[in-house]
Amino acid sequence: MPSRNRTALAAILLLAGWLAAGGCTDGSGPSGQRGPAAEPDQKVYTVGISQCNRNEPWRVQMDADIEAAAKEHPQLKVVFKDAQNDELRQRAHVEEFVSAGVDLIIISPKEAAPLTEPVAQAVAAGVPVIVLDRAVLGDRYTAFIGADNKKIGKAAGLWLVKKLSGKGKVVELKGLMTSTPGQDRHSGFREGIAASGLEVIFQADMKWLEPDARKEMDSALARFDRIDAVYAHNDPGAHGAYLAAQSAGRETEMVFVGIDALPHEGIAYVKQGILDATFQYPTGGKEAIGMALKILAGEEVPKKVVLGSRLFSKDNVAAGGEPLE
C-alpha cells in the first residue's frame, strides 16, 4: 500500500477508536453532546465506612484490609469515618453518609442497640448496609459478615479444659457486653467449660481495652492467691492481664488465652511466650468489599457470611496454626 493511503487508513482507524471510546475523556462527543453512556463498570460508587474506633490494632487492620481490597477496583471510592468509640458519633456518621448520598455503607458498630435504628433507616432510604464483625439487633440491614464468636469462645473453653487437665480457677475478662462478640465469646466459653472442673472465680467487663483489662486483673490478683488461667475476649485484654500478673511477679503461675491473632499482635505474643493461645478473628474487610461489589452490581448476596477461624498455640504457631473445625 502506498504510504499516503497507509497514513489515511491509520487516521480513519484512530478516529473510529476515538469515537468508540466516547470522543472526549469527559464523556462528551465532538458535537458537545454527551457520548455513549459510560460502561457500567466505569461508574464510580462511593462506599462509606463507619468504623467504631481506630485506636486498636485490629480495627486499623480492618480498615487497611478494606482499603487494600477497594484499591483493586477503581470503580469504588471508599470514605472512612472513625467514631472514636462513641456510639452517638457513629449514629451521626451513618446519617451523614445517607444524606451525602453514598451508594453503600459498611459499618462495624460499637454496640448493637444504639446502631440498630440508624442502620435500618439507611436501608429504608435505599442505601444498602453491610454490617461487619459486631452485629445490630433484628434483621433490618442488608447483610452481615463475621466469624462465629460463640464457636471461638467454646473452642477457647475446650482448649483450656484440656490444657488444665479438666480443673482450675479461671479469670474471664470480657469484651464490651453490649456488643455481640462479647456476649457470644462469653456464652460460648461457658458452654465449653460447662462439663469440666474449671471454675470462673473472677469476671469483669474490660470493654475490649488493654488498660481496663490490666486494672481488672490487678483486682483479681489482689483477691485470689491462685489463678490458673486468664481467658480474655481479645488479645489486648490478654496482654493487659499478662502485664498485671508480671508486675505482681505471678505471670508463670497461669495460662493466658486471647482472641484476634493478628500477626503483629496475638501471634507475636504467642511466639514470645506471653500468650499460650490465641484464636483468629478475621477482620472481614476484604470480604466486605467483595460483597459490596456484588450488591452494587445488583446481585443477590447471602444475609449472613460466617468467616473461619484458626487456633495459634505454642505447639502449632510455627506451623501457621490450625483451623477450628
Of 1-20, binders to ligand FRU (CB under 6 A) are none
Determine the Cα–Cα distance for residues 201 and 179; give it in Å rounded to an integer. 23
Considering only the stretches 4-12, 54-62, 91-99, 300-308, report the one whose residues sit in contact with ligand FRU under the rule CB under 6 A. Answer: 54-62
Mark residues 241-280: x for contact with ligand FRU by CB under 6 A, - for none. Answer: ------------------xx--------------------
- Longest CA pairwise span in the chain (Å): 99
State which of residues 116, 234, 278, 309 lies at the interface with ligand FRU (CB under 6 A): 234
Is 174 a binder of ligand FRU (CB under 6 A)?
A: no
Query: By CB under 6 A, which span of 75-83, 150-158, 165-173, 174-182 interacts with ligand FRU?
Result: 174-182
| Nearer to ligand FRU among residue 90 and residue 179 (C-beta) | 179
Q: Least CB distance from residue 198 to ligand FRU, whole Å?
A: 22
Instruction: Indicate the residue among 142 and 179 with the shorter CB distance to ligand FRU.
Output: 179
293/312 Cα distance (integer angstroms): 32
Gap between the Cα atoms of 130 and 108, Å rounded: 9
281 is a site residue for ligand FRU (CB under 6 A) = yes
The rounded distance, in Å, linking the Cα atoms of 138 and 300 is: 20
C-beta of 103 vs 184, nearer to ligand FRU? 184
Q: How many residues does the chain have?
A: 325
Site for ligand FRU in 180-199 (CB under 6 A): 181
Q: What cell does 179 get? A: 456488643
Q: Identify the helix (H) or strand (E) that includes residue 323.
A: strand 322-323
Minimum distance of ligand FRU from residue 122's CB (angstroms): 20
Contact between 205 and ligand FRU (CB under 6 A)? no
Residue 56 interacting with ligand FRU (CB under 6 A): yes
Concatenated DSSP letters for 205-236? Answer: E-TT-HHHHHHHHHHHHHH-S---EEEESSHH
Q: Any idea what the Cα angle at residue 120 is, between residues 280 and 259, rounded to 5°?
A: 10
By CB under 6 A, tell whether 141 contacts ligand FRU.
no
Which residues ranging from 64 to 123 are in contact with ligand FRU (CB under 6 A)?
none
Between helices 112-124 and 87-100, what is the axis angle to 10°? 10
**Of 291, 292, 285, nearest to 103 (Cα)?**
292
Nearest distance in Å: CB 111, ligand FRU: 10
63 near ligand FRU, judged by CB under 6 A? no
Segment lying near ligand FRU (by CB under 6 A), choices 51-59, 89-97, 119-127, 272-280: 51-59
Between the alpha carbon of residue 151 and those of residues 175, 202, 300, the distances in Å are 16, 22, 27
Amino acid at 286: K
Closest CA to 207 of 230, 186, 177, 235: 177
Residues in touch with ligand FRU (CB under 6 A): 56, 58-59, 133-134, 175, 179, 181, 208, 234, 259-260, 281
